[in-house]
Amino acid sequence: MKCIITAFPSRNTLQIVKDILLGAGISVNVECQSGAEAMRAAAGYDGGILICSSRLVDILVVDLCNMIPEGFDILVLISEGQGGIEFPDNVFSLGAPINKQHLITSVSMLIKISKRLGKRQKDDTDDTDLDKEIISKAKEILMSKYYFTEKQAHRFIQKRSMDNGTKMVTTARLILEQ
């Protein structure tokens, strides 16, 4: 079962994020204030999305990322002055203060890609110049529409493909279909 977990040290921030997502029709399954709570919650699910701040009461998100089970995408809200943090490739970030629309579109995109890839079968086509062009266009969409960096966009496509046993071009085509 996929889930959405939010983890912020402030109850106020937890409520703001939950309200934004609920307003867009996205349910939050678990609310946490610590990394330990987030890890316990994640252990009970097959995957999902962890939305959190870069610092929790008991752990930095850089360390938490290495402890969260496979199958979770991590979206970090970075406050001003924390732009120099180096996150692992499977972590996506948005600048804070929270931009409501950026948060909704980012979470929605992670949900849609997860659902669509779960339904696809393995694609056995060879890599061609056309495939590379399709992947490049998909990365451009992720960068412009969802504010990913080029590295994050590439890693997102790559990770989703590996998780679902499909080629990167298959994942890229799904992104282009949106």
Domain containing 164 equals 121-178
Question: Looking at the structure, do residues 66 and 45 belong to the same domain, yes or no?
Answer: yes
pLDDT exceeds 90 at position 7: yes
Q: Does one domain contain both 112 and 48?
A: yes
Instruction: Let me know whether 115 and 39 are in one domain.
Output: yes
pLDDT at 38: 94
CA distance 99 to 18: 13
Give the burial string for 146-161 (b: 16+ CB within 10 Å, else e). bbbeeebbbbbbebbb
Same domain, 101 and 156: no
Q: What is the pTM of this model?
A: 0.69
Instruction: Summarize pLDDT for 60-95 with one digit per residue, the tens.
Output: 888 888 888 888 889 998 876 655 667 776 688 888
Comparing CA positions, the residue from 132, 144, 143 lying closest to residue 172 is 132
Based on the structure, what is the number of domains in the chain? 2
Shared domain check, 102 and 90: yes
Pair 35, 81: CB distance under 8 Å: no
Query: Same structural domain for residues 146 and 94?
Result: no
Q: Are residues 169 and 101 in the same domain?
A: no
Q: pLDDT digits over 18-45, tens only?
A: 999 999 999 999 999 999 999 999 988 8
